[in-house]
């Protein structure tokens, strides 16, 4: 029988804050030198804990419930969010520009959490500048580029700490920020002023401070867009995007990911075709090669990454929708190695889950892949410490 984990939202926030590297209130975090834990799907055992990490949680969930934990979907309002977590058991909801502001303004997120058997990741992409969903509620923050131009890293840390506390008070648990793309694009380009700098060292410095501020406020930060959107050929909202070859990304765009991926953050993978890495016509978000690069790390001088991997939006960006139905996009992303597939509406959730079950029946989506993903998601939610 499925059982309900008694973990209050406030407790989740505290556990997420505990992801902070060393717990220090420092604006210039350094990557951890500790070896990351093994991926949960490995047969990792010890004398004290012979069972796989998360085995009790996994055994409490049906196959469809496990698959639902791997979905993060945009919602229109509180009732929409309550319905999709109660009826389908999705692992996360996304608050977008179209979401009724009363969901946050009236502090209605606890209704969403109460409707779910497991804590729900309540996600948002709050970067500051032109990518802000809570400006009317919490005030305006400068863009990343403006912040790096006018503020110290200490001040950026304090700004993120204040914004994170505000987000937590609204019920948010995960922020798809900071953007760690390295870019010299004009301010109004797809990345543009969302990038701290065209210098990877400055991006790492300021983005690290921003992520630390969010963590210390109890918000789980997610850096993006792996493996680097800053020099892409266009806007993946409008069509396919090609980056410079992987050898060039290794020298520049991947450096912030290398330094920050092990500081208690998640990673969002973009819809980017990368010569020398991804197959022609296959964006990184659904590419096993790109996921392997992130997980293994060795291809760009990083340690293996064991944290949660989100996709960028799979339903509102033409780099994906021009080629794939949402069911195909979600299954391709999860099979490639993403832990949580993100898209913008709830109406297709039953159809997606039906398709994922069929993919498991066929063997294209393995139980091991599902186990790995659900365990990673549970760790992010604070349900597992192993």
Q: What residues are annotated to the active site?
A: 237, 312
Tell how many helices (H) and how many strands (E) occur in the chain: 17, 8
Residue 263 backbone dihedrals phi, psi, to 5 degrees: -115, 30
Region of residue 239 (phi > 0: left; psi between -120 and 50: alpha; otherwise: beta): left
DSSP state at residue 22? G
Please name which of 169, 171, 105 lies closest in space to residue 137, comparing C-alpha atoms.
Answer: 105
Cα gap 293→150, rounded to integer Å:
35
Q: What residues pair up with 170 in beta bridges, in sequence order?
A: none
Q: Which residues contact 249 (CB under 8 A, 6 or more apart)?
A: 227, 228, 243, 274, 277, 300
Residue 239 backbone dihedrals phi, psi, to 5 degrees: 160, -175
Beta strand residue intervals within the chain, DSSP E: 71-75, 92-95, 121-124, 174-175, 220-226, 266-269, 309-311, 341-343
Cα gap 76→98, rounded to integer Å:
6
């Amino acid at each position: 029988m499925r059982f309900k984990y008694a973990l209050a939202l406030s407790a989740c926030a505290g556990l997420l804050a505990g992801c902070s590297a060393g717990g220090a209130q420092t604006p210039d975090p350094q990557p951890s030198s500790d070896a990351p834990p093994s991926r949960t799907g490995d047969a990792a055992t010890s004398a004290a804990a012979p069972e796989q990490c998360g085995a009790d949680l996994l055994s409490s969930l049906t196959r469809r419930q496990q698959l639902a934990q791997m979905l993060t979907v945009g919602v229109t309002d509180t009732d929409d969010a309550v319905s999709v977590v109660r009826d389908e058991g999705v692992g996360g909801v996304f608050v977008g520009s179209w979401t009724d502001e009363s969901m946050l303004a009236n502090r209605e997120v606890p209704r969403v959490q109460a409707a779910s058997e497991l804590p729900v990741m309540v996600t948002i992409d709050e970067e500051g500048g032109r990518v802000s969903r809570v400006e009317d509620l919490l005030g305006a923050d400068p863009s990343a580029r403006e912040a790096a131009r006018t503020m110290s890293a200490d001040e950026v840390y304090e700004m993120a700490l204040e914004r994170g506390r505000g987000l937590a008070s609204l019920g948010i648990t995960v922020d798809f920020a900071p953007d760690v793309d390295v870019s010299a694009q004009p301010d109004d380009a797809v990345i543009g002023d969302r990038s701290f700098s065209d210098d990877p060292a400055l991006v790492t410095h300021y983005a690290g401070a921003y992520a630390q501020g969010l963590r210390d406020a109890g918000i789980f930060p997610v850096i993006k867009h792996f493996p680097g959107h800053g020099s892409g050929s266009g806007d993946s909202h409008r069509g396919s995007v090609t980056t410079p070859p992987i050898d060039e990304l290794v020298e520049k765009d991947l450096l912030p990911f290398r330094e920050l991926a092990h500081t208690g953050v998640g990673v969002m993978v973009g819809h980017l075709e990368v010569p020398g890495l991804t197959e022609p016509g296959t964006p990184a978000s659904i590419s096993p090669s790109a996921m392997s690069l992130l997980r293994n790390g060795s291809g760009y001088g990083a340690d293996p990454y064991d944290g949660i991997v989100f996709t960028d939006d799979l339903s509102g960006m033409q780099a994906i929708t021009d080629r794939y139905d949402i069911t195909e996009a979600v299954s391709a992303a999860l099979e490639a190695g993403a832990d949580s597939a993100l898209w913008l509406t709830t109406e297709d959730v039953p159809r997606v889950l039906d398709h994922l079950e069929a993919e498991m029946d066929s063997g294209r989506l393995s139980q091991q892949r599902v186990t790995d993903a659900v365990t990673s998601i549970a760790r992010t939610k604070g349900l597992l410490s192993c």
